[in-house]
Amino acid sequence: MAKIIVLSQPVADKIAAGEVVERPAAVVKELVENSIDAGASEITVEIKNGGITYISVSDNGKGIPSEELETAFLRHATSKIKQIEDLFEINTMGFRGEALASIAAVSSVSVVSRTKEEESGTCMKVKHGKVLEKEEVVCNYGTTMVVENLFSNVPARMKFLKKDSTEGGYITDILSRIALSSPDISFRYILDGKEVFSTSGDGKLKNAILSIYGIEHARALYEVDYTEHGIRVFGAAGKAELARGNRTRQTLIVNGRYIKNHVVSKVVEEAYRNILMTSKFPFFVLNINLSPGLVDVNVHPAKTEIKFANEKEVYGIVNAAIKNAIYSTQKAEQEKNALGSQLTYSNSAPSSKENVDEKIVREFMERTIPSKNVGGYFFKEPKNYDHSQDKGAFSENGLFDQGAEITFNLGDSLKKEDPQIKNDGVLNASENVKEDFPPIIETLDKSSENAVGTKVVGQLFGTFIIAEKGNDAFIIDQHAAHERKRFEILKEDYLKKRAKGQQLLVPIVIDADMMEIQTVLDNQDFLKDIGFFMEEFGKGSVIIRETPFIGDEEEIKALALEVIAALIENCPMGVLSFEERILDMISCRYAIKANKRLNMLEMEGLIRDVEELEAKGIFTCPHGRPIKISFSKKDLEKGFKRIV
């Protein structure tokens, strides 16, 4: 066995450094938090190569006195606590006095700093923990830290870093959260020479949200501000249209520090229960301010997880704060609408006290949003498209089904009121059905029996198809059946690399953050293989030019965001591989929804699809839920006690 030895200081430092700074984003976080602690009102962050080769953080804070520069880089050097009791009342960001020492142990750092009291500034260079030089320089008040070639002396850690673009994405993420935590500080963030965002520092959260997430977000917010028992919950929560399929746009800030807490997310989501579907997560930037003694921030070494002393009380107040915000905004909007219908507005110019927020929003719009064409989205045929293969047709919403043998036959002539429509054999069991179009005129006796002898009986709740065959009866889940059919087609196209994107005549622009944009750029080939063509489109947006299918704009937007989020996560889901998971997202968005009235031909088409799937041994939707429930005449006879 190896002998027990005491590690040399440089080795111990490198190990400890790895715990504090595991990746470039952690370095950025520590440096920016130091700038905030130094009282800066302006902070500029510049990054190259995902922060691996270059990170620069400049601030106009109080500076580090020249004679204290070396001390600042010593382990456990901090100006923020002196004794252990201080830990419980700490209000600053960092207090372990480890960051600078750790960063300097694994990189080359140059610091330039000057306090208000000093005539001139000082520049000091430290490489792998050793001070190389220190000299007087001419500079402004404040501090600039430049960290170069991170982990150049720790190859093992270097290996764990991801692509530059991914590391850059982590930095963008953490910096966005910090900027949202401090709307009173102006942040400027430059990545590889391009400005990603810059916040005004005017103290308004809404404006910070505008700079970081874009206009759609700034426009659709509930303002939150609620205090109970000395606990204040404030910030912004997104209206339903901002909700996404993941929690990446939820930011929780406790006493000014960005942290993660799953329970708070759940509690907020609970408040949205009646507004959002279960798979949707609301956007929010929420601050909780409470006595620092009631929070233990040191649970996690990276300080991104915390514990509340009085959890239940805090959660209750958060929930009330959100419900209150949603309710009062909705009420105010209702009242405004009611008033609007009674009053006629004069056409006068906006008052001199034009809302600052609105002005910023307008300017932003002029700068970034291309004027949108009016009109829908059209299908453009792929080159060399062979019409003789046409089996599908267009539906009203532009849905085109090339492979599935479902006929959407919705000529205008069919939209007319026709007494026969009511005679189509469809069971009208629910009032809640979205009647997008009247069912096609088709009577039961004419043709509802397909080649294999399955007869459609009707549709139940706009969601299930009832069919019979000989002495057996079936209930088919229309969405599950169509989703599976689509999934099989997409999978085959994907495997044979023959998926063709449908070109949008009017492309769709979506708000996207740096991480999302980079993910799109990094995954062009994969996206093409599933039928998407997206590109970066100016600052903070992605333009969708080709989609796997033509559909409703909101649906396409949601699908694109969902796919990008999955690419960021890059993991399988349940029974599905990563690729299958993405293909299923497309199938699910494409497939006929529940609560959609189908006509006889559509139902017959679906029944044929189900039979085809069954012939291949497929009986479930991609997630494993059944497509069909069967029962026999005998089962019914038994149930009704006709037989025993």
Binding residues for ligand ADP, rule: CB under 6 A, are 30, 34-35, 38, 59, 61-64, 72, 77-80, 94-101, 143
Report in angstroms how near the CB of residue 99 gets to Mg ion at its nearest: 4
Residue at token pair 């949601």: 558
Report in angstroms how near the CB of residue 308 gets to Mg ion at its nearest: 23
The one of ligand ADP, Mg ion, none whose footprint includes residue 111, by CB under 5 to 8 A per kind, is: none
What DSSP character marks residue 232?
E
Report in angstroms how near the CB of residue 523 gets to ligand ADP at its nearest: 36
The one of ligand ADP, Mg ion, none whose footprint includes residue 324, by CB under 5 to 8 A per kind, is: none
> In whole angstroms, how far apart are CA 335 and each of 226, 324, 634?
22, 16, 59
In 3D, which of 540, 515, 538, 510 has the Cα closest to residue 212? 540
Report in angstroms how near the CB of residue 204 gets to ligand ADP at its nearest: 25
Cβ contacts of 615 within 8 Å, gap of 6 or more:
none
CB-wise, 113 or 211, nearer to ligand ADP? 113
What is the secondary structure of 243-264 as a DSSP string? -BSSSTTEEEEETTEEEB-HHH
The one of Mg ion, ligand ADP, none whose footprint includes residue 72, by CB under 5 to 8 A per kind, is: ligand ADP
Please tell me the distance from the alpha carbon of residue 380 to that of residue 371, in angstroms, as a whole number. Answer: 22
CA-CA-CA-CA torsion sign (359, 535, 281, 257): negative
The one of Mg ion, ligand ADP, none whose footprint includes residue 425, by CB under 5 to 8 A per kind, is: none
CB-wise, 64 or 285, nearer to Mg ion? 64
CB-wise, 101 or 510, nearer to ligand ADP? 101
Report in angstroms how near the CB of residue 98 gets to ligand ADP at its nearest: 6
| Listed ranges 6-14, 26-34, 246-254, 472-480: which one lies at the site for Mg ion (CB under 5 A) | 26-34
Q: Copy the structure tokens of residue 64.
A: 């580090």
Report in angstroms how near the CB of residue 90 gets to Mg ion at its nearest: 12
Beta strands 108-114 and 142-148, pairing class: antiparallel
* Sole binder of Mg ion in the list 25, 28, 34, 628 (CB under 5 A): 34
CB-wise, 80 or 491, nearer to ligand ADP? 80
Report in angstroms how near the CB of residue 84 gets to ligand ADP at its nearest: 15
Report in angstroms how near the CB of residue 143 gets to ligand ADP at its nearest: 4
What DSSP character marks residue 41?
S
Report in angstroms how near the CB of residue 94 gets to Mg ion at its nearest: 3
Report in angstroms how near the CB of residue 100 gets to ligand ADP at its nearest: 3
Helices (H) and strands (E) in the chain, counts: 18, 23
CB-wise, 34 or 66, nearer to Mg ion? 34
CB-wise, 72 or 285, nearer to Mg ion? 72
Residues 125-164 that bind Mg ion (CB under 5 A): none
Asked if 393 and 409 touch (Cβ cutoff 8 Å), the reply is yes
CB-wise, 298 or 310, nearer to ligand ADP? 298
Q: Copy the structure tokens of residue 598.
A: 């189908």
Report in angstroms how near the CB of residue 64 gets to ligand ADP at its nearest: 4
Asked if 269 and 317 touch (Cβ cutoff 8 Å), the reply is no
The one of Mg ion, ligand ADP, none whose footprint includes residue 408, by CB under 5 to 8 A per kind, is: none
What is the secondary structure of 511-575 as a DSSP string? E--HHHHHHHHHTHHHHHHTT-EEEE-STTEEEEEEESS---HHHHHHHHHHHHHHHHH---BTT
Please tell me the distance from the alpha carbon of residue 88 to that of residue 84, in angstroms, as a whole number. Answer: 8
Report in angstroms how near the CB of residue 195 gets to ligand ADP at its nearest: 22
Q: How many C-beta atoms lie closer than 10 Å to residue 530's C-beta?
A: 20
Residue at token pair 């291309």: 370
Binding residues for Mg ion, total number by CB under 5 A: 3
Residues in the chain: 644
Q: How many C-beta atoms lie closer than 10 Å to residue 263's C-beta?
A: 12
| Listed ranges 30-38, 439-447, 505-513, 532-540: which one lies at the site for Mg ion (CB under 5 A) | 30-38
The one of Mg ion, ligand ADP, none whose footprint includes residue 62, by CB under 5 to 8 A per kind, is: ligand ADP
Burial of 54 from C-beta contacts in 10 A (0-12 / 13-18 / 19+): middle
| Listed ranges 32-40, 110-118, 411-419, 483-491: which one lies at the site for Mg ion (CB under 5 A) | 32-40
CB-wise, 40 or 558, nearer to ligand ADP? 40
What DSSP character marks residue 410?
-
Please tell me the distance from the alpha carbon of residue 117 to that of residue 107, in angstroms, as a whole number. Answer: 30
Please tell me the distance from the alpha carbon of residue 165 to that of residue 177, in angstroms, as a whole number. Answer: 18
- Residue 638 — φ and ψ, nearest 5°? -65, -45
CB-wise, 114 or 455, nearer to ligand ADP? 114
Q: Binding string, 487-506, against Mg ion, x = CB under 5 A?
A: --------------------
CB-wise, 61 or 129, nearer to ligand ADP? 61
The one of Mg ion, ligand ADP, none whose footprint includes residue 96, by CB under 5 to 8 A per kind, is: ligand ADP
List strands edge to edge, sheet with 502-511: 379-380, 502-511, 541-547, 533-536
Alpha helices in 396-534 (DSSP H): 478-495, 514-522, 524-529
Q: How many C-beta atoms lie closer than 10 Å to residue 432's C-beta?
A: 9
In 3D, which of 239, 205, 265 has the Cα closest to residue 326? 239
Residues 63-102 that bind Mg ion (CB under 5 A): 94, 99
Report in angstroms how near the CB of residue 20 gets to ligand ADP at its nearest: 9
CB-wise, 77 or 567, nearer to ligand ADP? 77
CB-wise, 33 or 604, nearer to ligand ADP? 33
Asked if 499 and 531 touch (Cβ cutoff 8 Å), the reply is yes
The one of ligand ADP, Mg ion, none whose footprint includes residue 97, by CB under 5 to 8 A per kind, is: ligand ADP
Say whether residue 507 binds Mg ion (CB under 5 A).
Answer: no
Report in angstroms how near the CB of residue 116 gets to ligand ADP at its nearest: 12
Binding site for Mg ion (CB under 5 A): 34, 94, 99
